[in-house]
């Protein structure tokens, strides 16, 4: 019998979900699902440190996902091997699930570095299908971005070396960018953390990667549907995963402790709420790194591709802190929002943790005269053939021809009004750039601060983002619902090097190079 406790229901219609029925009881025994992390990268031998500058401290340990071993002794270079392959893993009670993974791990192993480090990833494709690796949120060269338009996918048996400097600190992730509907669902994603140079100190740092996967009764990936709600709203799973397990993560949080929880939503399609219960919590970072000041909020909406970092302490008199996903389900013919636990920390022990010191962060100005553009998301259904479009054009349908949405000089402010005439929420992503959300439905936005690379455009709503297009290159822009991007909601922009490292660029770069 499969454990239903942590399963979320299969999608019935766009944005509506069938009831789980069995409730969502939390097992009270300790399952110890936190995989043992390998030790952080080696220290250089004693006699080698350069005279002028002491070698940087190794980045802090992050709990939750095994690390990729750094094979390079240079403390400023992280050099790792990443292999895409078929693996069978125990993710839910019952039989193992046949997956496609990076290094036999779901999520893929954690890659972490300090801002300014060089990261070299020797990638091997041992799958029977072509694939590429995209570094979501990293403002690196477009040649290393894993865009199938620029890099031909790595053939089965082939390899490719990604080599880049990580320019910004933050919680990022990597994932396949080829045949994404299937490759995502089968497990090709992992976490990438870039530490600030003067990173605030916490009792512990954790990373929690959320996914929802659709398993059949033998725990195998359920068939991919090519029509109906799976295309309309994207594939929604029936099993919620936290760091690759259908059971919530179990940890311990000492009273007085202050932790950093880095949360990544790595699913195909479903936007959800995130709430911390029993905690005193603040949002300290978004997609693009630390906020200028922490945001008091114990609940946020997270769309596929987005990240949030929370500062977490146990609430007064609480014995447990729980991170919950809030998901709409149908129960007794009613649409209700239900909580599903992702991580449960028992409050135990005592520590005296000094308040973390957050570095100064200055975001680029948003109240500026900017070039205005409009991107309209829509869908057509001609004789049962669904196509998704941006400004009336469909990309990705035949190969990788992406319509060009515009050419922009770097470091100039552009206000992009993204609107949608079709539900559900479209998590819209721009490669290689950050932006800020400035307007929703005609009203200024004040409760979604920070730099982002992905914004939820809710059905029949518009939102405006302001970007400085700081990173020259040819960049994909698309809905992060795999079923939408692969069926046309995909285009590109070209950012030309204006040569002007404007003040906006240096303030943003400076603000995030901690």
Contact with Cu ion (CB under 5 A) among 426, 431, 440, 478: 426
Picked from ligand C2O, Cu ion, none, the partner binding residue 481 (CB below 5 to 8 A depending on kind) is Cu ion
CB 67 within 8 A of CB 80: no
Question: Considering only 37-45, 160-168, 333-341, 473-481, which stretch makes contact with ligand C2O by CB under 6 A?
Answer: 473-481
Strands 490-496 and 404-409: parallel
Picked from ligand C2O, Cu ion, none, the partner binding residue 177 (CB below 5 to 8 A depending on kind) is ligand C2O
Q: Return the number of the residue (149 or 426) whose C-beta is nearest Cu ion.
A: 426
Q: Return the number of the residue (136 or 245) whose C-beta is nearest Cu ion.
A: 136
d(CA 157, CA 84): 10
Instruction: Name the burial class of residue 319, with classes exposed (0-12), middle (13-18) and buried (19+) by CB atoms within 10 angstroms of its CB.
Output: exposed
Picked from ligand C2O, Cu ion, none, the partner binding residue 107 (CB below 5 to 8 A depending on kind) is none
Contact with Cu ion (CB under 5 A) among 458, 484, 487, 512: 484
Instruction: Name the burial class of residue 367, with classes exposed (0-12), middle (13-18) and buried (19+) by CB atoms within 10 angstroms of its CB.
Output: exposed
Q: Does 114 bind ligand C2O (CB under 6 A)?
A: no
Give the Å distances, CA to CA, from 401 to 382, 393, 483, 492: 20, 11, 17, 9
Contact with ligand C2O (CB under 6 A) among 474, 478, 487, 512: 478
Neighbours of 326 (CB within 10 A): 16
Helix (H) or strand (E) holding 338: strand 334-350
d(CA 390, CA 426): 12
Question: Considering only 35-43, 237-245, 291-299, 476-484, which stretch makes contact with ligand C2O by CB under 6 A?
Answer: 476-484
Question: Considering only 78-86, 366-374, 418-426, 441-449, which stretch makes contact with Cu ion by CB under 5 A?
Answer: 418-426
Strands 289-296 and 299-302: unpaired
The site map against ligand C2O for 210-249 (x = CB under 6 A) is ----------------------------------------
- Of the candidates 183, 378, 184, the residue with the CA atom closest to the CA atom of residue 269: 184
Q: Does 473 bind ligand C2O (CB under 6 A)?
A: no
Residue nearest to Cu ion (CB): 479
Q: Does 484 bind ligand C2O (CB under 6 A)?
A: no
b/e map of 97-136 (b: 16 or more CB within 10 Å)? bebbbbbebbbbbbbbbbbebebbbebbbebebbbbbbbb
The site map against ligand C2O for 417-456 (x = CB under 6 A) is ------------x-x-------------------------
Contact with ligand C2O (CB under 6 A) among 41, 112, 149, 175: 175
Q: Return the number of the residue (6 or 136) whose C-beta is nearest ligand C2O.
A: 136
**Count of positions on this chain that bind ligand C2O (CB under 6 A):** 10
> Is-cis flag, bond preceding 29, omega within 30?
no
Helix (H, G, I), strand (E, B), or coil: what is residue 309? strand
Taking the complex as a whole, how short is the minimal distance between the CB of residue 418 and Cu ion, in angstroms? 11
- Of the candidates 451, 471, 476, 454, the residue with the CA atom closest to the CA atom of residue 463: 454
Contact with Cu ion (CB under 5 A) among 479, 491, 493, 495: 479
Which token pair is 407? 């050419």
Which token pair is 80? 């790792």
Picked from Cu ion, ligand C2O, none, the partner binding residue 41 (CB below 5 to 8 A depending on kind) is none
Instruction: Tell me which residue has tokens 């596929």.
Output: 304
Taking the complex as a whole, how short is the minimal distance between the CB of residue 269 and Cu ion, in angstroms? 8
Picked from Cu ion, ligand C2O, none, the partner binding residue 476 (CB below 5 to 8 A depending on kind) is ligand C2O
Phi, psi of 101 (to 5 degrees): -130, 170
Picked from Cu ion, ligand C2O, none, the partner binding residue 307 (CB below 5 to 8 A depending on kind) is none
Give the Å distances, CA to CA, from 264 to 112, 241, 259, 299: 15, 12, 16, 15
Q: Does 9 bind ligand C2O (CB under 6 A)?
A: no
> Is-cis flag, bond preceding 434, omega within 30?
no
- Sheet containing strand 272-277, edge to edge, reads 249-255, 334-350, 320-331, 272-277, 299-302
The site map against ligand C2O for 132-161 (x = CB under 6 A) is --x-x-------------------------
Q: Does 379 bind Cu ion (CB under 5 A)?
A: no
In the complex, the residues that contact ligand C2O under the rule CB under 6 A are: 134, 136, 175, 177, 305, 429, 431, 476, 478, 480
């Amino acid at each position: 019998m499969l454990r239903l406790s942590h399963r979320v229901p299969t999608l019935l219609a766009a944005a509506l979900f069938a009831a789980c029925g069995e409730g969502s009881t939390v097992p009270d025994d300790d399952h110890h699902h936190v995989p043992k992390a390998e030790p952080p990268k080696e220290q250089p031998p004693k006699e080698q440190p350069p005279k002028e500058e002491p070698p940087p401290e190794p980045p802090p340990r992050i709990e939750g996902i095994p690390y990729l071993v750094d094979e390079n002794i240079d403390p400023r270079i992280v050099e790792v091997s990443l292999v895409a392959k078929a693996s069978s893993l125990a993710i839910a009670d019952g039989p193992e699930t046949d997956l496609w993974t990076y290094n036999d791990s779901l999520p893929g192993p954690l890659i972490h570095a300090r801002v300014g480090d060089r990261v070299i990833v020797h990638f091997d494709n041992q799958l029977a299908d072509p694939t590429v690796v995209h570094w979501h949120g990293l403002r690196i060269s477009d040649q290393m971005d894993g865009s199938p338009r620029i890099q031909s996918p790595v053939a089965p048996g082939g390899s490719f070396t990604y080599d880049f400097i990580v320019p910004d600190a933050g919680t990022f992730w990597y994932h396949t960018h080829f045949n994404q509907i299937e490759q995502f669902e089968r497990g090709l994603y992992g976490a990438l953390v870039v530490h600030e140079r003067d990173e605030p100190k916490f009792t512990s740092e954790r990373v929690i990667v959320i996914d929802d996967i659709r398993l059949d009764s033998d725990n195998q990936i359920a068939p991919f549907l090519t029509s109906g709600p799976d295309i309309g709203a994207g594939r929604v799973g029936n099993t919620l995963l936290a760091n690759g397990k259908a059971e919530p993560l179990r940890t311990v949080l000492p009273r007085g402790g202050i932790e950093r929880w880095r949360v990544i939503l790595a699913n195909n399609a479903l936007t959800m709420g995130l709430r911390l219960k029993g905690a005193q919590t603040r949002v300290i970072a978004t997609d693009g790194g630390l906020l200028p000041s922490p945001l008091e909020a114990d609940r946020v909406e997270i769309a596929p591709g987005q990240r949030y970092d929370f500062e977490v302490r146990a609430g007064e008199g609480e014995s447990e802190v729980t991170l919950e996903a809030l998901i709409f389900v149908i129960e007794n013919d009613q649409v209700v929002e239900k909580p599903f636990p992702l991580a449960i920390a028992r409050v135990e022990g005592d520590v005296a943790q000094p308040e973390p010191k957050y570095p100064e962060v200055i975001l680029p100005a948003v109240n500026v005269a900017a070039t205005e553009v409009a991107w309209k998301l829509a869908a057509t259904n001609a004789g049962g053939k669904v196509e998704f479009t941006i400004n009336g054009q469909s990309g990705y349908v035949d190969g990788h021809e992406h319509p060009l949405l515009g050419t922009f000089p770097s470091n100039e402010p552009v206000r992009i009004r993204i609107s949608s005439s079709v539900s559900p929420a479209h998590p819209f992503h721009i490669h290689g750039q950050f932006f800020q959300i400035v307007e929703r439905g005609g009203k200024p936005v004040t409760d979604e601060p920070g730099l982002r690379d992905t914004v939820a455009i809710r059905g029949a709503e518009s939102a405006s983002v302001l970007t400085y297009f700081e990173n020259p290159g040819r960049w994909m822009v698309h809905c992060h619902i795999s079923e939408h991007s692969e069926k046309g909601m995909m285009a590109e922009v070209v950012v030309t090097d204006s040569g002007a490292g404007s003040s906006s660029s240096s303030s943003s770069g400076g603000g995030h190079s901690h």
